[in-house]
């Protein structure tokens, strides 16, 4: 689920769900585009936002109950609602929403002369696995008819333990779902209950067994650290059991307490029974050590994977590529414009009606705000182990911008929180870095900048803020 309440680690920019909230800025009438001649020098960076999206996010908001940390738009069906089977196929709350969602997709304008088929589809929520496969099929059929879907598309679905059985999993797989994100969160009964999760440890173990028995070849397991009363021993146990389950991918999030949630009423960040900031950082270091030691690549702040199992859909966000979003509270990035739908059902219903009546136009803006674009690229690139490509960044925004960024990072190169790599991706020393801070060196001897793992990632919020100040003074 696009969990806006979770951050990847202590003191960082938020993880997969929340960075969408940060980036999905409303584009108002006083939008002031800044054009530079360098757009012609780096057409890839400037034209990518204008290309037809090849990824789509579909929000299915249904949950059995709202977790105590959740502030995302969800519809709680009730703990007694049928879950594993398709007995809830006729639940009007689900079927009516799917009809509304399909109306939105149908009414959305496709303002491109040619359109490449979709390469990734991501069903998030909520708990999408509560939706009957028949209704998921209707969404996929509509996407195929309107946009096309490649034969090898990554089709992901977030699923919670206890909301599916073998039969339902097989039906999803028959529809083309080929990647599962399993919301385990913890392997301790007391932590799951404290979070208000609807499942228990037995259902976690059952769900993992279903992944294996059904032959799901690409699945991820989600964990949350810094939960109330969570001890280092509990966290290590969860990581150990995760490694034993052998998922292809692991996502690790640090709890963020949001106002308006039950946790927001009960707890204050950094105060018992929540861990201190230092303890949260230790949780992150432990995850990095144990998962990396088990052969997982730490390829993004909150994401680990076996070789070749990076989440293709999330790379759409990290590479600042355009994407469609449909459904309650979802966001799109089309033709350089980021646009969010209403988070309340009544507002979303009115939005779809206005869209059908031609009263909503979010097809984009051919003008590009260079400062915003540079900031987005830096923030998203530094979330990843690949880091920021200085050659491309210089080509797009000029030597002075890159030089300012490198100059701002000098103290952190020396402290080891920021790493600079050459074209062969060898880490350069601080002395080599200082000697190459010139027009010949930047982009050649200094080819990439990334944050170190784990200490640089732990300071990513501060380090990215410093980058913003350097490139957009």
Mean pLDDT of 405-416: 96
Alpha carbon 220 to its chain centroid, in Å, reads 13
What is the residue whose two structure tokens read 């398709």? 86
Q: Is 90 exceeded by the pLDDT of residue 243?
A: yes
Dist CA 75 CA 9 (whole Å): 28
Pick the CATH number of 55-319 from 1.10.357.10, 3.40.50.11540, 3.30.750.200, 3.90.1150.10: 3.30.750.200
The whole-number average pLDDT for the span 37-56 is 62
> Can you give the pLDDT at residue 418?
98
- pTM of the full structure: 0.89
- What local confidence, expressed as pLDDT, does residue 191 receive? 97
How confident is residue 221, by pLDDT bands cut at 50, 70 and 90? very high
What tokens appear for 376 in the block?
């987005």
For the chain, the farthest-separated pair of C-alpha atoms sits apart, in whole angstroms, at: 68
| Span(s) in the chain for CATH 3.30.750.200 | 55-319
Average pLDDT, the chain: 87
Which of 409, 404, 324 lies closest to 142 in space, CA to CA?
Answer: 324
Tell me if residue 300 falls in helix, strand or coil: strand
């Amino acid at each position: 689920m696009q969990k806006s309440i979770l951050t990847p680690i202590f003191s960082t920019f938020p993880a997969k769900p929340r960075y969408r909230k940060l980036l999905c800025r409303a584009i108002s009438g006083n939008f002031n585009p800044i054009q530079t001649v360098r757009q012609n020098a780096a057409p890839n960076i400037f034209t990518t936002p204008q290309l037809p999206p090849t990824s789509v996010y579909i929000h299915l908001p249904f949950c059995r109950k709202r977790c105590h940390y959740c502030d995302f738009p969800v519809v709680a069906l009730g703990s007694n609602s049928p879950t594993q089977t398709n007995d809830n196929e006729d639940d009007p709350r689900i079927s009516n929403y799917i009809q509304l969602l399909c109306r939105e997709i149908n009414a959305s304008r496709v303002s491109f002369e040619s359109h490449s088929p979709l390469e990734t589809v991501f069903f998030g929520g909520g708990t999408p696995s509560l939706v009957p496969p028949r209704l998921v099929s209707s969404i996929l059929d509509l996407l195929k008819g309107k946009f096309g879907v490649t034969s090898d598309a990554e089709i992901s679905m977030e699923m919670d333990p206890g909301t599916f059985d073998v039969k339902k999993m097989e039906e999803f797989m028959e529809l083309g779902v080929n990647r599962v994100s399993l919301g385990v969160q913890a392997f301790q009964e007391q932590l799951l209950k404290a979070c208000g999760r609807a499942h228990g440890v037995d259902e976690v173990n059952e769900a993992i067994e279903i992944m294996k028995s059904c032959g799901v070849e690409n699945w991820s397991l989600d964990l949350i650290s810094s939960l109330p009363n969570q001890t280092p021993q509990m966290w290590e146990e969860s990581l150990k059991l995760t490694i034993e389950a052998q998922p292809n991918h692991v996502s690790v999030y640090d709890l963020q307490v949001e106002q308006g949630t039950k946790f927001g009423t009960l707890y204050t960040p950094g105060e018992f029974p929540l861990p201190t900031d230092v303890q949260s950082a230790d949780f992150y270091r432990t995850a990095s050590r144990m998962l990396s030691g088990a052969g997982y690549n730490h390829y993004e702040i909150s994401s680990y994977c076996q070789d070749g199992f990076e989440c293709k859909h999330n790379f759409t966000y990290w590479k600042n590529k355009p994407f469609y979003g449909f459904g309650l509270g979802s966001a799109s990035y089309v033709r350089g414009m980021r646009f969010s739908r209403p988070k309340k059902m009544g507002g979303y219903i009115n939005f779809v009606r206005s869209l059908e009546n031609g009263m909503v136009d979010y097809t984009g803006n051919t003008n590009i705000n260079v400062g915003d674009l540079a900031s987005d690229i830096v923030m998203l690139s530094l979330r990843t182990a690949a880091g920021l490509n200085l050659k491309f960044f210089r080509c797009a925004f000029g030597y002075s911008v890159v030089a300012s960024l490198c100059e701002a990072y000098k103290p952190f190169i020396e402290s080891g929180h920021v790493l600079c790599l050459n074209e062969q991706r060898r880490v350069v020393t601080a002395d080599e870095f200082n000697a190459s801070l010139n027009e010949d060196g930047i982009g050649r001897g200094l080819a990439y900048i990334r944050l170190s793992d784990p200490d640089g990632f732990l300071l990513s919020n501060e380090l990215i803020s410093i980058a913003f100040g350097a490139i957009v003074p």
